[in-house]
Amino acid sequence: MADQVGPGTVPGVMGESSGLEPQDAAAGAHGAVAPAEAQAGPGQHVPFHGRSVSWVEVSIMLVGFTVGGVGLIAGPTWWLVWAGGAVVAVGGILALATGIFNDWY
């Protein structure tokens, strides 16, 4: 175990920052506050919860899924299952038409 490297034996490492120290994400190099897009560090993102139209379309698809599930439990009542499936399909088509996949971070 005598061959282990001790502290201060690697040249140029003492006193340098490893970049792993906690930093204030809102303050820049000169203490100025950065814009919201620049505040997010590695592993963090600016809170963005999608557009309202996207949430409406997801809600339409959830209602259709619930209606289809109730149709399976109650009977099964096949016309209700297919009606729920149709509502999900319409919601999916609307979501694709309005660009729901563009609501990414």
Q: Which tokens go with 45? A: 């993102």
What is the Cα–Cα distance from 5 to 26, expressed in whole angstroms? Answer: 37
Higher pLDDT, 60 or 42: 60
**pLDDT band of 48, cuts 50, 70, 90:** confident
33 vs 9: CA distance, rounded Å = 38
Q: Where are the domains of the chain?
A: 52-102
Mean pLDDT of the chain: 77
